[in-house]
Amino acid sequence: MIQITVLIRILHIVWVLLVALVLMAVSVRAHAGRDTDMDFLGQQKQYARVKGAFRSKADALDRRLGAHGLKSTGLNILIVAYKAEAILDIYAKGSDAASYEKLASYPVCASSGKPGPKRRVGDWQVPEGFYRINRFNPASNFHLSLGIDYPNAADKLKAHAADLGGDIFIHGSCVTVGCLPMTNTVIEEIYLYAVYARNSGQKTIPVYIFPFQMTQENMEKYEAIYRKQPEMLAFWHNLKQGYDKFIKNGNALTVGVMKDGDYDFGSK
């Protein structure tokens, strides 16, 4: 009889432990589910600067989007910057549309370096080429910032330095060593557009950085100035192929990289 009583007690303890383990597992899964299900917009709004940007900018951005027949949901964006003109353009489209249209244009607040690509750490150059956003930094030293994927595959093939540098951002404030500073108030708008796009499912946000607006007139102007630098002129002619293609139809470019580091934009 004593053995049966002990066995019953042991079974009761085991049952209690099993119930507790099941409840703990359910709780952990529910918590993990909340973290997973939270959309990118919700995650970003947990940061004070992003939350403040939404309070001050969201209504104006919604009105601008509405004027173009767009919404903050189902939004795709593409960023184009021109170094010589110190302009950064935001292009936008609905996620189901083929071509982009210009949505907004902002002045770049400060610059460093000179015309030409970035090829090494410490050269102060702003990169030139075809990139994408690879980081959202809601707690940047420069208010808010969007990282670009410099050095890309083309940069690595073209450069000869051991260290090409990195950490190139579109950011707030008005100081730079190779980045694109936009001031705090402007970066809030750009950052929110990028958050909207990412939250709408756009995994790749293109960033095209050109030395100047690559019209034929400007090409002739810069060819005369840099006629003794044939390597850079050849690089710019390669960029112009992508520039012309984008300006012509407003479609995001399909960008490949050839063995010599030149960009390939396909046959279409």
Residues recognised as catalytic: 171, 179
DSSP helix/strand/coil, 215: coil
CA dihedral 245, 246, 248, 254 (to 10 degrees): 50
| DSSP conformation letters of the chain | -HHHHHHHHHHHHHHHHHHHHHHHHHHHHHHHHHHHHS-HHHHHTTSHHHHHHHHHHHHHHHHHHHHTT--SSSEEEEEEEETTTTEEEEEEEETT-SB-EEEEEEE-----S-SS---STTS-PPP-EEEEEEEEEEEETTEEEEEE--S-HHHHHH---S------EEESSS--SSSEE--HHHHHHHHHHHHHHHHTT----EEEEESS---HHHHHHHHHHTTT-HHHHHHHHHHHHHHHHHHHH-BPP--EE-TTS-EE----
Which structure tokens are listed for 137?
């930094």
What is the rounded distance in angstroms from the CA atom of residue 223 to the CA atom of residue 215? 12
